[in-house]
């Protein structure tokens, strides 16, 4: 099927979710205000290379320059199929050296073979070496009139400032759920694919705002489901855990039930899911808990807000970061992953202990500010005000006493 290729936008009007880019480029073509170099930035799958090809068609269409390339003339067809001698696409990752750029500089000196403009599209341009950028710089400073460079990158911070100052930059945004879901519904209707509404939302979450990834996942789920896409089967394909698993996990954490927390993880792994799947799902669940706590969002985790303070959620995120390190670096990830889960199960004990340690350290060195506590304490604070501050913190954190030697007692 190859749905991502079949449903790749052919005109500016087909491009979804990048109205700020499309409008500017259409106006440039309409009024013939063509720049010699453009930079398209953004995450994968949001339309950078696609828009570059459409811009090339708009520049070289028989009716052009035009914001509405016909798609039927010889030049439009050659550009669409990648057969045009005057529209050159280069992969910056595999053609990153100075020799390739020198060859390109020689190429652009010649007039286009058939087209109005010679268009050079360099994908992942940030992969070029410093020497290659320096070689390219001279051409950008004094570009031939009939040459247009279009650079695409996911990491604009790696591009030298000398290059950035000589291009028109367009930042492509991650696509919204509404835009992606509507496009997927359109494809399902055209391809006669039965798909549940919940499944479309799951595809969007997994694609992380990338239209290309979303369409690829739709095709994968269609093949797996034999013509029908259900949320349950999609979870199996993508390794997405049920929300109920994490609701139960937070319940066990609130109850300080260490055994149930570990058993829950092991049951998940026995079903064929990985530690990575569990970690990814827990990050999303914690994020939803944070949204419900801070912004009052109504979701599955709203009822749990009363059991978890802002400090608790902050500590959960810290544990999630440690889990990520375990998954990346450890030779025994499962054992250490369970160790991190045990820390979550003892959340209500560990968070006050960590806060108390900060206070006790300050008590021993009261001439130093404690930025980690989140309180701004000036060095000239009087002894009485410091004592009042300690008492207030101890009361808020449900601590009985913090002695000068750092020992701590916790209210039960």
d(CA 207, CA 211): 7
pLDDT tens column, 400-410: 444 444 444 44
- Same domain? For 325 and 370 the reply is no
pLDDT at 64: 78
Structural contact between residues 346 and 256, judged by C-beta atoms closer than 8 angstroms: yes
Q: What percent of the chain has pLDDT over 70?
A: 85
* 367 lies in the same domain as 297: no
Nearest CA to 46 out of 178, 172, 182, 152 is that of 172
Backbone angles phi, psi at 376, to 5 degrees: -90, 110
Name which of 44, 123, 111, 53 is nearest 82 in CA terms: 53
CA dist 266 and 334 (Å) reads 10
Q: How far apart are CA 188 and CA 196, in angstroms?
A: 10
For β-strands 399-402 and 408-410, DSSP reports them as: antiparallel
What would the pLDDT profile of 306-333 be if each residue is shown by its tens digit?
A: 999 888 898 899 999 999 999 999 999 9
Same domain, 158 and 10: yes
Confidence category of residue 225, pLDDT binned at 50, 70, 90: confident
pLDDT tens figures, 377-387: 444 444 455 55
Q: Are residues 34 and 103 in the same domain?
A: yes
Last residue of a domain, one of 238, 255, 273: 238
Average pLDDT value for the chain = 85
Q: Which domain-ending residue is among 345, 371, 387? A: 345
Cα–Cα nearest to 205, from 284, 140, 133, 298: 284
Contact partners, residue 304, CB within 8 Å, separation at least 6:
247, 250, 251, 254, 289, 292
Exposed, middle or buried, 189 (CB in 10 Å: 0-12/13-18/19+)?
exposed
Q: Report how many domains make up the chain.
A: 4
pLDDT at 408: 45
Q: pTM above the 0.85 mark?
A: no
Cis bond upstream, residue 65 (ω within 30): yes
Q: Is 47 left (phi over 0), alpha (psi -120 to 50) or beta?
A: left
Which of 345, 370, 396 finishes a domain?
Answer: 345
Query: Tell me, what CATH number does 20's domain have?
Result: 3.40.50.300
171 phi/psi in degrees, rounded to 5: -95, 115
Cα dihedral 329, 260, 267, 311 in deg (nearest 10): -40
Indicate if 10 and 35 belong to the same structural domain: yes
How crowded is the C-beta side of 289, counted as CA atoms within 13 Å? Answer: 26
Pair of tokens at residue 209: 């705002």
Please tell me whether residue 142 adopts helix, strand or coil conformation. Answer: coil
pLDDT value, residue 159: 92
Instruction: Looking at the structure, tell me whether residues 323 and 388 fall in a common domain.
Output: no
Give yes or no: residues 252 and 312 share one domain: yes
204 and 117 in a common domain? no
Residue 40 in 3-state DSSP?
strand
Instruction: Mark whether 41 and 138 lie in a shared domain.
Output: yes
Total Cβ atoms within 10 A of residue 159: 19
**159 and 104 in a common domain:** yes
In the predicted model, what is the mean pLDDT of residues 169-198?
92
CATH number of the domain residue 264 falls in: 1.20.272
pLDDT in tens, 125-164: 999 988 888 888 888 888 888 899 999 999 999 999 999 9
Report whether pLDDT(227) > 50.
yes
Q: What is the CATH number of the domain that holds 222?
A: 1.10.8.60
Q: Are 18 and 87 part of one and the same domain?
A: yes
Domain extent at residue 199:
177-238
- Same-domain status, 22 and 66: yes
pLDDT, position 140:
87
């Amino acid at each position: 099927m190859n749905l991502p290729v079949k449903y790749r936008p052919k005109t500016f009007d087909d491009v979804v979710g990048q109205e700020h880019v499309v409008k500017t480029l259409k106006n440039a073509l309409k009024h013939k205000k063509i720049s010699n170099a453009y930079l398209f930035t953004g995450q994968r799958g949001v339309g950078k290379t696609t828009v570059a090809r459409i811009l090339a068609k708009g520049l070289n269409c028989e009716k052009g320059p035009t914001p509405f390339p016909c798609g039927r003339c010889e030049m439009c067809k050659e550009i669409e199929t990648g057969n045009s001698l005057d529209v050159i696409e280069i992969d910056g990752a595999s053609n990153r050296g100075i020799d390739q750029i020198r060859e390109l500089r020689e190429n652009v000196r010649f007039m286009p073979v058939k087209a109005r403009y010679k268009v050079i599209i360099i994908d992942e341009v940030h992969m070029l070496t410093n020497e290659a950028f320096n070689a390219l710089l001279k051409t950008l400073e004094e570009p031939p009139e009939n040459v247009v460079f279009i650079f695409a990158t996911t990491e604009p911070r790696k591009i030298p400032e000398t290059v950035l100052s000589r291009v028109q930059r367009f930042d492509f945004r991650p696509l919204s759920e509404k835009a992606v879901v509507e496009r997927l519904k359109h494809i399902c209707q055209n391809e006669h694919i039965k798909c549940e509404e919940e499944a479309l939302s799951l595809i969007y979450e997994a694609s992380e705002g990338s239209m290309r990834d979303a369409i690829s996942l739709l095709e994968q789920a269609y093949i797996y489901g034999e013509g029908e896409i259900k949320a349950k089967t999609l979870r199996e394909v993508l390794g997405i855990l049920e929300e109920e698993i994490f609701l139960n996990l937070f319940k066990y954490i609130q109850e300080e039930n260490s055994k149930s927390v570990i058993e829950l993880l092991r049951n998940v792994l026995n079903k064929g899911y990985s530690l990575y799947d569990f970690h990814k799902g827990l990050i999303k669940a914690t994020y939803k808990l944070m949204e419900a706590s801070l912004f009052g969002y109504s979701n599955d985790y709203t009822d749990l807000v009363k059991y978890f303070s802002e400090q608790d959620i902050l500590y959960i995120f810290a544990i999630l970061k440690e889990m990520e390190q375990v998954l990346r670096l450890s030779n025994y990830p499962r054992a250490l992953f369970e160790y991190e889960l045990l820390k979550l199960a003892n959340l209500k004990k560990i968070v006050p202990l960590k806060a108390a340690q900060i206070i006790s350290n300050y008590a021993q060195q009261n001439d130093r500010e404690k930025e980690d506590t989140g309180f701004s304490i000036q060095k000239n604070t009087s002894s009485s005000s410091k004592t009042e501050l300690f008492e207030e913190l101890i009361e808020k954190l449900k601590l009985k006493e913090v002695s000068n030697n750092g020992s701590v007692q916790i209210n039960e």
